Structure 1
Amino acid sequence: MINNKRVFFFRKAHKWLALIVGIQAVIWCLSGLYMTAVHIETVRGNHLVKDLPLKPLENLLSSDLNLKVNEKYYRFHSLAMVNDEPELTLFSDSQKIKYNLRSGELARPISEQDIADKAAKIYVGNGNLQNIQLLNHYPQEIGGKNRRVWRVTYDDFLNSTLYFDFETAELIRARSDLWRWFDFLWMLHIMDYDAREDVNNNLLKIAATMGLLLTLCGIGMLFYSFGHRKVKQVTTLSLLKSVHKWLALVIGLQLVIWTLSGVVFSLLDKEKVSGRYLINQQDVVRPLLELDKLKQIQVRYPAIETVLTHSLLGNPVYQVNINNERIMLDSKSLEPLSLSESTVKLIATQRFRGDGELLQLSQINVQSTETRKYQLPLWKADFNDAESTSLYIDAKTGNVMGAKTDTWRLFDFFWMLHIMDYGERNDFNHALIIFAAAISCFIALSGLLMLFSAFKWSDFSLWTRYRTKRINLNSREGELVTIQANKFMRLLDLFNQKNIAVRSSCGGGGSCGLCRIKVIGNCDVSPADRQFFTETELQQGYRLACQVELCESISLELPARYFEQLK
């Protein structure tokens, strides 16, 4: 026998939760479909630009190069090709100076024409250049930093925009309406309508929890919803309910996973997930400008693309980049540096700011879920703190790439389930999740439409809950039972209240047709009655108990034992 009270509870909770968070559930599904269907690389605008190969530095550090600068007061920052010109960047205590090594003079500022030329080289869209502007700060769509930036707009149908660095003319970001739509939907998805970045806001926590309860109640209803009578007349509503139910059966578990993982994401502090709070930040110690050493570097490595400075255990080092290879040089001897295990141990203990001690070091040469976004080879430093932290250190540069903790591992596990990528945990644009997201949209939209038939006006009046009237129930044999019942109660509600076992697998929704009774005399016919009874049966008085509203006097054809329970 179907547990009517349990089914009633699931249905009642499901419809009220849907009333509260139904619109947000639709937003989650629609925004999720957009995020999965439009590839993230396209959203980021990578299809609008092409990569230009890095040019090796020209051999311009000749012995007769005379920079008008006192080497004692300036520290080396970088040496690179900037806007097709070899540029040396220096630092002092109060200023940054850039030199053009071709002329030996101060590098000229980037001009509007430079930006136009650079944009023409990398833009591969179909639009024409519309405008070039120098902005005093980053727009919100690229982070909102208080720094100057060049903006180039095009007149294509996606309103494509390229942003270039004010000092180097390097491309910062490419944006289009695809990104703007993504960003708008992300705002709605995480319910942060201001900064669009807080995934731990209280509104989201409440909504996500209610969304989880909504899906759990829906799954609870599924267990009882497949025992029903065959409909005699198919209506739009009955068809909608049937498709809603069967699609929920297909992806119901994934709906629970999505809402459960959403709750987990909203509760896990994003700073703890990132692990950044466990890494000591270090100041970059830059070497004094020594042109002779830069000349030696260029002689030894004629194909270099950039020379940068880093710090290693408080000492300045040069980083030479050649065809994606990184070579670290001692700033004094210019000899290549190789990180020994003892050096890595010192780096790990100095950079870790947690409470634990170093347990072990291990070399990583194969990608794993924890290292999927890092460049190999790596060193892994495990600590015995409460979070079981692992620091990942670049085996060539000594840079700390990141920290992975138990909080991150929990997040990553649910992230895998959320995006349905059970291998690399990185792809949320694959066919499986797009298919599931599309089905979820239909479920959410159809559920929202069905809400209009699930409620009646009396459901929204608190006063009606306490308004009762005397109801006379008559049997065919003439037995009379008088009870006090809620004015707006339906017959199935009364049976359920009195523990009378009338079958129902839909909890009173009028979709299973199991709560069949016979009313003696006139009784209104509901649309749900017409689905399950022929015209002859309706004339004979057959009705669904969940559709019969109590009136002051109603005659029923029921077994005598039911009237005993009603007394």
Structure 2
Amino acid sequence: MKLKRAAWQLHKYLSYFIFAQIFVWVLGGVVFATVPFTELVKGGDYVRQPAAVPMPAHWSHLVAGVEGVQSATAVASAQGPLIKLELARGQRWLNHQGVEVGKVDALAVAAFAGELYLGSGELREVRWLDTSEPRLLGLVDELYGQTGVWQAVFDDARLYLNDRGEYLKVRTNYWVWYDALWRLHIMDYGDGDNFNNILLRLFAWLAFCFVLTGLVLSFYAFRRTLNRRVRTHT
């Protein structure tokens, strides 16, 4: 009976301590099994990818005077087709006339975001984010700490572009809720990608002890029921 009492006490106190997390684990599992990580969640249904831009035939002459070029890529942007140069130290951006371009303005961002957006909402505002935004739902940072980007806010989606107007990503409320549940599920409230952190391992062991004590109590309950039935039939 000492084992039974100890199992009951431990089971009771563990239930107080880990009930909420077990609920979140089960809730997250149900959501992830029922709602796959589709384009609707990722935001692909809300935006078209910018059309591929070919490199100008004379691009090598345009970058001939730039030192330390490691790669050159043609990209679509809110400023039109650009050549993005990766250098040993940073980047440089040229238009197809070889002129270096700077930061794009909000009007150009609004026009380009409107071309990419596929949803039915309205464009509410265009903002330059030079500081980190508050975490949505207290957990989710859509940019993972990245700053120095443009945000085009529509009713149901947010498009992000870099300072030269290159499209980066789209985020939706579906994605925010999905990501929040994921962070709660793996108990990583920072970057949301460490699914083997110390906190998760601790609670996993506590949950195992909770199940183990539950099995002990179930054994005693089953034995008590069996004894009653035996006495009834004798």
Q: TM class by shorter-chain length?
A: 0.7 to 0.9
- Is contact 2:50-2:167 (8 Å) kept? no
- Is contact 1:151-1:164 (8 Å) kept? yes
- Is contact 2:52-2:76 (8 Å) kept? no
- Is contact 2:74-2:83 (8 Å) kept? yes
Q: Percent identity?
A: 25
Q: Which residue identity does 1:141 align to in structure 2? A: E
Q: Deviations along 1:359-413, whole A, 9 cap, x unmatched?
A: xxxxxxxxxxxxxxxxxxxxxxxxxxxxxxxxxxxxxxxxxxxxxxxxxxxxxxx
Partner SS for 2:92:
strand
Partner SS for 2:221:
coil
For 1:32, the equivalent position in structure 2 comes to 29
For 1:143, the equivalent position in structure 2 comes to 144
Q: Is 1:164 the counterpart of 2:140 in the alignment?
A: no
For 1:75, the equivalent position in structure 2 comes to 68
For 2:136, the equivalent position in structure 1 comes to none
Q: Deviations along 1:247-272, whole A, 9 cap, x unmatched?
A: xxxxxxxxxxxxxxxxxxxxxxxxxx
**Structure with more contact order per residue of length (Cα contacts < 8 Å, sep ≥ 6):** 2
Q: Which residue identity does 2:98 align to in structure 1? A: G
- Is contact 2:11-2:210 (8 Å) kept? yes
Q: Which has the higher helix share?
A: 2
How many positions carry a matched residue from both structures?
221
Q: Which runs of 5+ in 2 are unaligned?
A: 134-140
Q: Is 1:119 the counterpart of 2:113 in the alignment?
A: yes
Q: Which residue identity does 2:55 align to in structure 1? A: L
Partner SS for 1:142:
coil
Q: Following TM superposition, by how much is the alpha carbon of 1:59 offset from its aligned partner in structure 2, in angstroms? A: 2.8
Aligned equivalents of 2:58, 2:208: Cα separation in 1: 64
Partner SS for 1:25:
helix
Q: Is 1:153 the counterpart of 2:153 in the alignment?
A: yes
Partner SS for 1:505:
helix
For 1:505, the equivalent position in structure 2 comes to 221
Q: Following TM superposition, by how much is the alpha carbon of 1:134 offset from its aligned partner in structure 2, in angstroms? A: 1.1
- Is contact 1:48-1:123 (8 Å) kept? yes
Aligned equivalents of 2:86, 2:48: Cα separation in 1: 30
Aligned equivalents of 2:189, 2:98: Cα separation in 1: 51
For 1:311, the equivalent position in structure 2 comes to none
For 1:133, the equivalent position in structure 2 comes to 127
- Is contact 1:505-1:514 (8 Å) kept? no
CA distance 1:60–1:209, change in 2 (3 Å): same
- Is contact 2:126-2:151 (8 Å) kept? yes
Where do residues 183-262 of structure 1 align in structure 2 (5 Å cutoff)? 183-193=179-189, 196-219=192-215, 224=219
For 1:286, the equivalent position in structure 2 comes to none
Where do residues 318-397 of structure 1 align in structure 2 (5 Å cutoff)? none
Q: Which runs of 5+ in 1 are unaligned?
A: 225-503, 517-541, 543-567
Q: Is 1:22 the counterpart of 2:5 in the alignment?
A: no
Q: Which residue identity does 1:44 align to in structure 2? A: K
CA distance 1:218–1:48, change in 2 (3 Å): farther
Q: Following TM superposition, by how much is the alpha carbon of 1:100 offset from its aligned partner in structure 2, in angstroms? A: 1.7
Aligned equivalents of 2:50, 2:91: Cα separation in 1: 27
Aligned equivalents of 1:187, 1:92: Cα separation in 2: 36
TM-score (normalised: structure 2): 0.73
For 1:49, the equivalent position in structure 2 comes to 47
CA distance 1:85–1:215, change in 2 (3 Å): same
Q: Following TM superposition, by how much is the alpha carbon of 1:198 offset from its aligned partner in structure 2, in angstroms? A: 4.7
For 1:98, the equivalent position in structure 2 comes to 93
For 2:171, the equivalent position in structure 1 comes to 175
CA distance 1:153–1:215, change in 2 (3 Å): same
Partner SS for 1:141:
coil
Q: Following TM superposition, by how much is the alpha carbon of 1:205 offset from its aligned partner in structure 2, in angstroms? A: 2.5
Q: Deviations along 1:254-291, whole A, 9 cap, x unmatched?
A: xxxxxxxxxxxxxxxxxxxxxxxxxxxxxxxxxxxxxx
- Is contact 1:99-1:106 (8 Å) kept? yes
Q: Following TM superposition, by how much is the alpha carbon of 1:143 offset from its aligned partner in structure 2, in angstroms? A: 0.9
Q: Following TM superposition, by how much is the alpha carbon of 1:187 offset from its aligned partner in structure 2, in angstroms? A: 3.3
Aligned equivalents of 1:81, 1:195: Cα separation in 2: 29
Q: Is 1:110 the counterpart of 2:143 in the alignment?
A: no
- Is contact 1:45-1:176 (8 Å) kept? yes
CA distance 1:86–1:174, change in 2 (3 Å): closer
CA distance 1:48–1:205, change in 2 (3 Å): same
CA distance 1:10–1:185, change in 2 (3 Å): farther
Aligned equivalents of 1:34, 1:61: Cα separation in 2: 49
Q: Which residue identity does 1:205 align to in structure 2? A: R
In our comparison, the structure showing a higher alpha carbon Rg is 1
Q: Following TM superposition, by how much is the alpha carbon of 1:114 offset from its aligned partner in structure 2, in angstroms? A: 2.7
Q: Which residue identity does 1:164 align to in structure 2? A: L
Q: Following TM superposition, by how much is the alpha carbon of 1:20 offset from its aligned partner in structure 2, in angstroms? A: 2.8
Q: Which residue identity does 1:99 align to in structure 2? A: L
- Is contact 1:137-1:149 (8 Å) kept? no
For 2:137, the equivalent position in structure 1 comes to none
Q: Following TM superposition, by how much is the alpha carbon of 1:104 offset from its aligned partner in structure 2, in angstroms? A: 3.3
Q: Following TM superposition, by how much is the alpha carbon of 1:197 offset from its aligned partner in structure 2, in angstroms? A: 4.9
TM-score (normalised: structure 1): 0.34
CA distance 1:108–1:201, change in 2 (3 Å): closer
